[in-house]
Amino acid sequence: MAENVKIVYEGKTYEFPIIVGSEGEKGIDISKLRQITGLITLDPGYANTGSCTSSITFMDGEKGILRYRGIPVEQLAEHSSFIETAYLLINGRLPTREELDHVSALFNDNSLVHEDMQIFYQNFPRGSHPMGILSSMVNALRSFYPELQTIEEEINITVIRLLSKVRTMAAMSYRISRGHKVVYPRPDLKYCANFLNMMFDTPVKPYQVDDILEKALNVFWILHADHEQNCSTSAVRLVGSGRVNLYAAISAGIAALWGPLHGGANQAVIEMLTDIQKDGGNYMRAVARAKDKKDPFRLMGFGHRVYKAYDPRARIMKKMCHRILDKLSFDDPLLDLAKELEEVALKDDYFIDHNLYPNVDFYSGIVLRAMGIPTNMFTVMFAIGRFPGWIAQWKECSDDPNWRLGRPRQIYIGPEKKQYIPIDQR
């Protein structure tokens, strides 16, 4: 039994229980803190705040561990498919073959997007960012699929719709942005192959799905499938806590993921590497800028709030990057630049002292480039991968009988009470 934690305040001692997780993680339960002491905690960026207990994903930033429902991500990346991993995250266990076949059949039945939605896509101004479009369109799905009678039926079909339609919607957005005809999903293709075909098939050059690219996409999406209480997942939980529908909660997650400090980093890495290349490959200048406190520039794809040793996803992604480029005999000068930059940064005192290592986004952009995915779609690719995690986390909080409306407090530091002055007397 863990001991209680004591807080002494204004001469009184208050005790708070310690909560111990299944992997030995400990936290002080301060849920009664304000009620009994009148105090709140202040924790900008929530770096020390647990917002929930969860049985979905375990990560240990010091040891570089990531597990979904107990299974190491390395094993899932090696042996599983994205859809099997999605099932695991959402349902809490691996599916049987029959269950997986059943889910695949449901994906096929629900893969089409309402034709009226094409009008929306066509009317977004050219050059709109695909993340803005995806967030809006996922939210718009609610209008096309009104609520069903029973809650369970509603949730089950919404989960299938979201997972199946997101790849059709993402590919549709890309095709329309290029002025090309939309390619419909094919029931004979698996999830990842189907997406690649919808992106790249043309009447002039029918697309042949390469095994290595299909595997790479499965791995990419498995590695992104969940990451416990990160920025976008917390957005999904917080928005969901108001009992909003699942489409709206996921749409909020997409918006949160868009930022360059979060999911947008994969796009930012390629842009940074391209800039360095244009600068004659002078990566030392980028390293010097990243270390200069007066310069807001950061080395994109480096650092993580939780991983302070190594991001295990980055290790798998780097290996995958080499496999793809070797197999396709694809020579990407940005990969050479990335390797040189990583080597220098890993030996540099600033990066060592700050525990800054490459994160998943450092190599994922090069993998996506090899697949032919345009840079402005990189964060959409991350978002598709994160759908199972967002859904699992939303379900977990919706099913929790003790779940409360998310509503943090603040310490107010603005002006004290003052009188309103009418406009002509100011």
> Which residues are known to be catalytic?
304, 361
214, 342, 361, 396: which one contacts ligand CMC (CB under 6 A)?
A: 361
Here's the x/- map for ligand CMC, 255-274, by CB under 6 A: it reads as ------xxx-x---------
114, 129, 186, 305: which one contacts ligand CMC (CB under 6 A)?
A: 305
144-to-70, 131, 170 alpha-carbon distances in Å: 37, 20, 17
Largest CA distance in the chain: 80
303, 312, 385, 389: which one contacts ligand CMC (CB under 6 A)?
A: 303
From the CB of 352, what's the least distance to ligand CMC, in Å? 12
Q: Which residues contact 117 (CB under 8 A, 6 or more apart)?
A: 137, 140, 144, 169, 172
**Does the protein bind ligand CMC through residue 217 (CB under 6 A)?**
no
Q: How many alpha carbons lie under 13 Å from residue 304 in its C-beta half-sphere?
A: 24
**Does the protein bind ligand CMC through residue 304 (CB under 6 A)?**
yes
- The pair of three-digit structure tokens given for residue 217, joined into one six-digit string: 């996409």
CA–CA dist 192, 209 (Å, integer) = 9
Interstrand relation of 26-28 and 57-60 (parallel, antiparallel or unpaired): unpaired
From the CB of 291, what's the least distance to ligand CMC, in Å? 7
Here's the x/- map for ligand CMC, 220-249, by CB under 6 A: it reads as -------x--x-------------------
In this complex, which beta carbon is closest to ligand CMC, that of residue 164 or of residue 266? 266
Binding residues among 11-70 for ligand CMC as defined by CB under 6 A: 45
From the CB of 231, what's the least distance to ligand CMC, in Å? 7
From the CB of 307, what's the least distance to ligand CMC, in Å? 8
In this complex, which beta carbon is closest to ligand CMC, that of residue 38 or of residue 45? 45
Three-point CA angle 244, 129, 181, nearest 5°:
100
> Residue number with the shortest CB distance to ligand CMC?
303
- The pair of three-digit structure tokens given for residue 395, joined into one six-digit string: 């379900």
In this complex, which beta carbon is closest to ligand CMC, that of residue 144 or of residue 297? 297
In this complex, which beta carbon is closest to ligand CMC, that of residue 201 or of residue 361? 361
From the CB of 337, what's the least distance to ligand CMC, in Å? 16
From the CB of 361, what's the least distance to ligand CMC, in Å? 5
From the CB of 73, what's the least distance to ligand CMC, in Å? 13
In this complex, which beta carbon is closest to ligand CMC, that of residue 245 or of residue 267? 267
Residue length, the chain? 426
Identity of the residue numbered 17: P
155, 166, 183, 290: which one contacts ligand CMC (CB under 6 A)?
A: 290
Q: Could you give the residue ranges of the DSSP H alpha helices within 259-359?
A: 265-278, 283-291, 312-327, 333-347, 349-353
Interstrand relation of 57-60 and 65-68 (parallel, antiparallel or unpaired): antiparallel
142, 186, 339, 354: which one contacts ligand CMC (CB under 6 A)?
A: 354
**Does the protein bind ligand CMC through residue 301 (CB under 6 A)?**
yes
138-to-65, 81, 106, 141, 157 alpha-carbon distances in Å: 32, 24, 19, 5, 15
DSSP string, 94-157: PPPHHHHHHHHHHHHHT----TTHHHHHHHSPTT--HHHHHHHHHHHHHHHSPPPSSHHHHHHH
Q: Which parts of this chain interact with ligand CMC (CB under 6 A)?
A: 45, 227, 230, 261-263, 265, 290, 298-305, 354, 356, 359-361
